[in-house]
């Protein structure tokens, strides 16, 4: 959906509310509030409106994805641990069929083997993994480009 001011939904999954305190050697010391500020700033520069949502609940994530249909032009999602097993989140993304970028702060391919597989990856446009908070900003740039073209 091409819009004058594209609306993008940013979804942070489980335990990402703990950023800053959570395994800083893996996820860094930046808090989620700080990441959200960076996202808001980047969105303003790109002329995108963002709605940001964090949940620890799988069902809430499915609901927010479903509610994006008809309201949002694209989605940026870090599904957290749901990445590796939530067919419900994958099916919701497939159902709304919006341009979606999957973001991971850590490089999931460099970590434990159970993190190497994303059940989300086959239904998204692209994935950014391992670039820390910068991943969200690059995802916004990518969506801005993609939405301008579509």
List, by residue number, the catalytic residues: 27, 104
Check residue 15 for interaction with ligand DQA (CB under 6 A).
yes
Span of 43-51, 54-62, 101-109, 137-145 interacting with ligand DQA by CB under 6 A:
101-109
**Residues binding ligand DQA: number (CB under 6 A):** 10
Structure tokens at 87: 């067919």
Integer Cα distance of 87 and 104 in angstroms? 18
Residues facing 77 on adjacent strands: 11, 102
Check residue 108 for interaction with ligand DQA (CB under 6 A).
yes
Q: Toward ligand DQA, which CB reaches closer, 115 or 125?
A: 115
Integer Cα distance of 118 and 113 in angstroms? 11
Give min distance, CB of 117 to ligand DQA, in A.
10
Integer Cα distance of 17 and 70 in angstroms? 28
């Amino acid at each position: 959906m091409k819009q004058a001011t594209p609306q993008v939904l940013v979804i942070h999954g489980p335990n990402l509310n703990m950023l800053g305190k959570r395994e800083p050697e893996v996820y860094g010391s930046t808090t989620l509030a700080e990441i959200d500020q960076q996202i808001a700033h980047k969105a303003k520069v790109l002329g995108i409106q963002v709605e940001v949502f964090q949940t620890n609940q799988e069902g809430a994530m499915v609901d927010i994805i479903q509610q994006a249909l008809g309201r949002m032009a694209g989605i940026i999602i870090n599904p957290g641990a749901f990445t590796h097993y939530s067919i419900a989140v994958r099916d919701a993304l497939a159902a709304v069929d919006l341009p979606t970028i999957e973001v991971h702060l850590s490089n999931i391919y460099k970590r434990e083997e159970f993190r190497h597989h994303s059940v989300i990856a086959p239904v998204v446009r692209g994935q950014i993994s391992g670039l820390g908070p910068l991943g969200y900003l690059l995802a916004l740039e990518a969506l801005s480009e993609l939405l301008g073209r579509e």
